[in-house]
Structure 1
């Protein structure tokens, strides 16, 4: 049986837990065939990012055209996009292919800052992300910090998530999955899917303590893209992806040093 094709446009994580590597693992684990376009090479592990090498926009174009001209891509997930020039190049090509009748879901994971604090999206690229790619998206999956940059209010309590998800979705004009994993002192990890028409869906799981969250956002958005490519509705895809992520967290294991290194190199 032929698997649906899903594309990730993101950065490479040399540690294997996030970025392109996590996306491809997730596509395969959820029943889709994964393809990739790399935006940046990063030198990183769960302790931090020590270097970023941006791909030349013209070479990014060659990667993207190589995939879209050959494979019947059903869904595209974006992660680390890094710069305004890369975002404009991606937007131009995706618009051209949609104009030709190639339909695909676009899941936008607005990766802006790594868990370690390293910037993964340049400040001048934020507005390009909002103006060029957000209007094309089937879904945006910000965490609370990213949602604030995109235009939501301050969110420090679970009770604030529902109205902010609806407000941000209406403001941007596309569905928003607001991820609540960063709320402190909560017994549950709550995510809210808000639609521009005011409709909401809630997804909650018991909060899991003492695990390394590196790559969870990449895995989540990739699983959503994979299930959308398989024909599930948006709310079903988010629900199935949430179950997949929770199971992955429960089955996670330490794959490297268990003690965090005391260094914070600048890029």
Structure 2
């Protein structure tokens, strides 16, 4: 039964503060009872106050990480996060076409919670043309959906229109996160599935600054559930529940946008 345990892969940047990026991805995957692996694309100097610096890794080292994982592991689902710039988006796309790591969840990370740019402006077109068409699940927030589609999104109808356009760009299943929406009492996400079905996912809006790594955590939970054989709708719904619990039961870490509580789901927010 060697290699039959569900295995996942995150392709992203690190977060030295532990709340987002690959660190949040691996914490989430562990909590969802899958074995997480990683390809590091970039390294950040980061904490809850912001991103102080980052450096993308050389192509050869990224390629070697992909080859190393493919030679040993049986990865059943994977995700992307911070990819830095157009060159590195292309490097990742080349490797995703070379190796089969199961369904791909694309979290098109562009801006950190504190406002720092995590994707160069000239890389947006590369994400649109090369990465989005590979996505089995695409999970942009509102600003990211606007950048990718060129649409202004201020209403629920415009969220639905943006999801349709993202599908037309090649993404199979689309989840547009509504956390940036100016609705005072709830956070609503719109989901458009590959088979044409659609639905809204809503949760009470929680007044907190402990939301660092929300997008990474959501996409990682979806990836973990797909690796365990769950269908796309079930994986997305569980991802929403998982993130809601992680925000609702905060831990007090850092002086800025604090991290989520990755062990909160199903445990009442306590150890």
**TM-score, normalising length: structure 2:** 0.89
- Could you tell me whether the CA contact under 8 Å between 1:166 and 1:200 is conserved in 2? no
Query: Does the alignment pair 1:61 with 2:63?
Result: yes
- Could you tell me whether the CA contact under 8 Å between 1:113 and 1:120 is conserved in 2? yes
Q: Name the counterpart of 1:46.
A: 48
Q: Secondary structure at the match of 1:132?
A: helix
- Could you tell me whether the CA contact under 8 Å between 1:158 and 1:183 is conserved in 2? no
Distance 1:94 1:185, change over 3 A: closer
Q: Name the counterpart of 2:28.
A: 26
**TM-score, normalising length: structure 1:** 0.90
Displacement of 1:68 after TM fit?
1.7
Displacement of 1:91 after TM fit?
1.3
Displacement of 1:168 after TM fit?
2.8
- Once the two structures are superposed, residues 187-213 of structure 1 have per-residue CA deviations (whole angstroms, 9 ceiling, x without a partner) of 111111113554212211111112321
- Alignment RMSD: 1.9
Q: Secondary structure at the match of 2:140?
A: coil
- Could you tell me whether the CA contact under 8 Å between 1:15 and 1:45 is conserved in 2? yes
Aligned equivalents of 1:87 and 1:119: distance in 2? 15
Q: How does 1:1-267 map to 2 (within 5 A)?
A: 2-97=4-99, 102=100, 104-195=102-193, 198-257=196-255
- Once the two structures are superposed, residues 75-126 of structure 1 have per-residue CA deviations (whole angstroms, 9 ceiling, x without a partner) of 11100001222222211122122xxxx3511000000111211111111211
- Could you tell me whether the CA contact under 8 Å between 1:77 and 1:108 is conserved in 2? yes
Distance 1:177 1:139, change over 3 A: same
Aligned length: 256
Distance 1:132 1:15, change over 3 A: same
